[in-house]
Amino acid sequence: MPPDYRIAEAAALLGVSDDTVRRWIDAGRLTASRSGGGPAVVDGVQLARVATELRDAPQPGTTPSSARNRLTGIVTRVVRDTVMAQVELQAGPFRLVSLMSREAADELGLEPGVRAVATVKATQVSVDVP
């Protein structure tokens, strides 16, 4: 089951401010819930959907690039076959795709809505769970 994220965590994963996430909740773009009077949380699957929408929206005046080699994001898609898995991760405005063994993807519990960290070195992308 994908985890829920606090508003600040959701904002960091999407690369937007906490206030933007709150406005999206008020507008119905995201749904927040509370349990037992705790902090408001957003469902990970919904967060993955919005991350995908943000990825598909053009960012005026920007070119996707990264000066760092570890990018924290949210898994937006996992395609598994009998041996391999293709994992898509949205880290702010950056979309990363990693090919790994199905066994590794299963062991990490990778599925849409799960937070993950992509480590980039040359042409290889490794995905870790924090």
DSSP 129: -
User: Structural domains in the chain?
Assistant: 4-56 (1.10.1660.10), 70-128 (2.40.50.100)
Report residue 9 as tokens. Answer: 């965590």
pTM for the structure as a whole: 0.57
5-27: pLDDT as tens digits? 999 999 998 888 899 999 999 99
63-84: pLDDT as tens digits? 444 434 678 889 999 999 999 9
Query: Burial, 50: exposed, middle or buried (Cβ in 10 Å; 0-12, 13-18, 19+)?
Result: buried
83-102: pLDDT as tens digits? 999 999 998 888 999 999 99
Give me the percent of the chain exceeding a pLDDT of 90. Answer: 49
Confidence (pLDDT) at 67: 36
| DSSP-assigned states of every residue in 29-94 | SS-EE-STT---EEEHHHHHHHHHHHHHS--TT-----SSSEEEEEEEEEEE-SSEEEEEEEETTE
